[in-house]
Chain A
């Protein structure tokens, strides 16, 4: 960490101009923020109680700011790791555009502001869940699990899975089985998603001393774990249709998307050497993002536009 701190300080002296607005936007991990806001929106729209559009928009802004806070605090604490990895070396802190202290202050202000604003504008259950999410991501995942166990992204994935529950809580003021099902889908989706990426970046993670599963257990064991999680995820993706959250359209989409996920995971499992193995992992990683996006997009369409093609449960009961 000391070497990284020196290189960060040197880079800071070299540039010396302080962070640009774009650097602060990058600190908030905008791509992660998009997925967080999108899944929170689905939780909000799928909830049985409707929310005033202005309050819904304000809640989503707060959730986005909370996600941004998590990203900034992660980049503050992980600056030493980021500096050693090709994928993250260009982030604002390792590049020296923003000091670790600036990133920490920015993240802390965003965190407190987003939690208080969500509490005032929506309700304090949603705000408590947002606080828990930020705290879990920063203190449990970033500061503890990431550097100590190959199960880091399995347990840490809970933070990324909570946004739909926050959206649901903002709309209803409560929690339910339906919102927990949305949480579970993202929770089980996270390991195959991140391990597919880790297979491609094993050298990077090893160099940075991060005990990702491919570094600790090897690529073969990681591929097997990806396949196991995919086999759990595919049927779990159908659960919203079973609990009445998704209709027939959702059930059909989840079945097809889940089957493709399993096929691609099997492809990743069976191709173990050379370029074909890398391509299979890369394809799975890309598809995993598309899978989650489409699955939640169908729920959004069903609830937002009232198109569900009938109830999946009543179809099978008739």
Chain B
């Protein structure tokens, strides 16, 4: 594997890791925002 190919794979891996972090961050953000918007209604829902 030459240097150019190694560099291409390194950059691709870094991009993939960044996308994974962003997706994880968005999942957490959506969860928290949902809880905040629902407010106390989460506890008051019929079981």
Contacts and interface: CB of A to CB of B under 8 A. Distances in A.
Interface string B1-39: 000100110111011001000000000010011001100
A54 B14 CA distance: 29
Given A19-B11, A20-B14, A21-B14, A54 B4 contact: no
Contacts of A121: 33
A54 B36 contact: yes
A2 interface: no
Give the bracket for the number of chain A residues in contact with chain B.
10 to 19
A55 B7 contact: no
A55 B14 CA distance: 30
Contacts of A20: 11, 14-15
Contacts of A19: 11, 15
B12 A58 contact: no
Nearest to B3: A17
A55 B15 contact: no
- Which of A18, A19, A52 has its CB near the most chain B CB atoms (within 10 A)? A18
Contacts of B12: 18
A17 B4 contact: yes
Contacts of A55: 33, 36-37
Nearest to B35: A54
Nearest to A53: B36
A17 B7 contact: yes
A16 interface: yes
A61 interface: yes
B29 A21 contact: no
B4 A16 contact: yes
A17 B33 contact: no
Contacts of B7: 17
Q: Which of A16, A17, A58 has the most CB of B within 10 A?
A: A17
Contacts of B36: 52, 54-55
Given A18-B8, A54-B36, 15 more contacts: A17-B4, A17-B7, A18-B11, A18-B15, A19-B11, A19-B15, A20-B14, A20-B15, A21-B18, A24-B15, A24-B18, A54-B32, A55-B36, A58-B33, A121-B33
Interface of A: 16-21, 24, 52, 54-55, 58, 61, 121
20 contacts: A16-B4, A16-B8, A17-B4, A17-B8, A18-B11, A18-B15, A19-B15, A20-B11, A21-B18, A24-B15, A24-B18, A52-B36, A54-B32, A54-B33, A54-B36, A55-B33, A55-B36, A55-B37, A58-B29, A61-B29
